[in-house]
Amino acid sequence: MKRRKFIKNTALSSIGVTFGTSLLGCNNTDQKNSEEKIMATDNTQFPIAICTWAFTAANAKAGEELSKGKPALDAVISGVEVEEENLKNTTVGKGGAPDREGNVTLDACVMNPEGDCGAVVYVNTITNVAALARKVMEETPHVMLAGEGAEEFGYSQGFEKENLLTEESRLAWEEWKKSPEYKPIINIENHDTIGMLAIDKDGDIAGACTTSGLSYKMKGRIGDSPIIGSGLFIDNEIGGAVATGMGEEVMKTVGSFLIVELMRNGMNPQEACEEAVRRIVTKNDRYKDFQIAYIAMNKKGETGSYCIHEGFTYMKYQNGENKNIPSDFYHKG
Ligand code: ASP
């Protein structure tokens, strides 16, 4: 690309990221159309990867894969695997906190640019559940497999059978059982479900969401994370969104689907995340007791995030830089 065009496009791209709505709101239709066209077809700002919380290494991994030219779905799965395999992370993958009976059960889903999706829930013996969800999407006629059925399918696809309860998580659970109070903590340890969205060099969007769910949940409980439309939703024409936090509340408002639909109707990712949080807090006066956070990305590569309580941050990889960005929040005291 000629240098002048590169500079022009890069400048327009960064205007788009920061002032997306002002551009859309400008009166000069011709100027607006030509700018939008350049932004929509300009790949210099791509690829981009974003993920929930300060999962720096996971997002860097996705960014690295994207920079090598890998498609968005490959990148998000490689990215979230970093946390699924991180034994120190007690909210995702192996090493995740168990339910009240001591079972670690993992949930995950993925969605590709074609609008296909796959999910697994209540998986007790396989670490890489996002990759397993991808296999459900690609190798079965179904969207979701649960429990033993998901595990047996996983072994048939070459996934290893593992004990997901680490000694550290077992000891923490034994400790918890001494006074078993079930009380989700806002911003628990500042790391939670990992939800990741990527837009690859071709401008195609995919996402993954993977979790061990709420610590010490009831046996059998499934949250929002593996539910397409709640924990994750992608429409490659519009953008994508993912959620973290109190899954029950995300499910009641089908949060990620809502955000994508709000973007379809003209909101930028930031406005859409804010509106989705507003839907929850205006209908539920218990919002002071739980955290929910959304991140979203649109087809132009604009991103946004919003949460109920201060403390949520997200990662953004773009142009070789992997930054941690504090999210704006609703409850300002
Ligand atoms: N959303 C997850 C769930 O409800 C948990 C979390 O993100 O903290 O299972």
State the residue range of the domain holding 13: 6-326
Note whether 112 and 230 are within 8 A (CB).
Answer: no
The ligand 1 atom at the shortest distance from the C-alpha of residue 212 is 9
Ligand 1 centre and the CA of 52: distance in Å? 11
Q: What is the pLDDT of residue 108?
A: 98
Q: How many CB atoms lie within 10 A of CB 145?
A: 23
332 burial level (CB within 10 Å; 0-12, 13-18, 19+):
exposed
Report yes or no on 1 lying in a domain. no
Per-residue pLDDT of the chain (333 residues; tens, 9 = 90+): 333 333 333 333 332 322 222 222 233 344 444 444 334 445 458 999 999 999 999 999 999 999 999 999 999 999 999 999 999 999 999 999 999 999 999 999 999 999 999 999 999 999 999 999 999 999 999 999 999 999 999 999 999 999 999 999 999 999 989 987 766 665 554 458 999 999 999 999 999 999 999 999 999 999 999 999 999 999 999 999 999 999 999 999 999 999 999 999 999 999 999 999 999 999 888 999 899 999 999 999 999 999 999 999 999 999 999 999 999 999 998
Strands (E), 53-149: 106-111, 117-123, 144-146
Q: What is the pLDDT of residue 285?
A: 87
- Reduced to 3 states (helix: H, G, I; strand: E, B; else coil), residue 96 is coil
| Ligand 1 pocket member 195 (CB < 6 A) | no
Report yes or no on 226 lying in a domain. yes
Report yes or no on 331 lying in a domain. no
Report yes or no on 332 lying in a domain. no
Sheet containing 48-52, strands listed edge to edge, beginning at the edge strand earlier in sequence: 144-146, 117-123, 106-111, 205-211, 194-199, 48-52, 313-318, 321-326
| Ligand 1 pocket member 98 (CB < 6 A) | no
Note whether 49 and 301 are within 8 A (CB).
Answer: no
Note whether 310 and 329 are within 8 A (CB).
Answer: yes
Sheet containing 328-329, strands listed edge to edge, beginning at the edge strand earlier in sequence: 232-235, 239-245, 292-298, 303-307, 328-329
Report yes or no on 54 lying in a domain. yes
| Ligand 1 pocket member 224 (CB < 6 A) | yes
Q: What is the pLDDT of residue 25?
A: 28
Ligand 1 centre and the CA of 45: distance in Å? 31
Q: What is the CATH number of the domain that holds 73?
A: 3.60.20.30
Report yes or no on 182 lying in a domain. yes
Q: What is the pLDDT of residue 184?
A: 60
Q: What is the pLDDT of residue 322?
A: 98
Q: What is the pLDDT of residue 179?
A: 85
Q: How many CB atoms lie within 10 A of CB 54?
A: 17
How many residues are recorded in the chain? 333
Q: What is the pLDDT of residue 27?
A: 36
The answer for residues whose C-beta is within 8 angstroms of residue 260's C-beta and 6 or more apart is 233, 234, 235, 238, 239, 240, 241, 272, 296
DSSP-assigned states of every residue in 164-226: ---HHHHHHHHHHHHS----PPTTGGG---EEEEEE-TTS-EEEEEEE--STTPPTT---STT
DSSP 161: P
Give the integer Cα–Cα distance in Å for 190 and 193.
10
- Reduced to 3 states (helix: H, G, I; strand: E, B; else coil), residue 253 is helix
The ligand 1 atom at the shortest distance from the C-alpha of residue 248 is 4
Active site residue 140: no
CA 250 from centroid of its chain's CA atoms: 13
| Ligand 1 pocket member 213 (CB < 6 A) | yes
Strands 313-318 and 303-307, sheet pairing: unpaired
| Ligand 1 pocket member 211 (CB < 6 A) | yes
Report yes or no on 333 lying in a domain. no
Report the sign of the C-alpha dihedral through residues 69, 73, 74, 79, in that order: positive
Candidate from 182, 214, 251, 327 with most ligand 1 atoms within 8 A of CB, to mutate: 214
Q: How many domains does the chain have?
A: 1
Report yes or no on 22 lying in a domain. yes
Closest alpha carbon to 286 in 309, 256, 259, 306: 309
146 burial level (CB within 10 Å; 0-12, 13-18, 19+):
middle
Q: Which of 193, 244, 253, 303 is catalytic?
A: 193
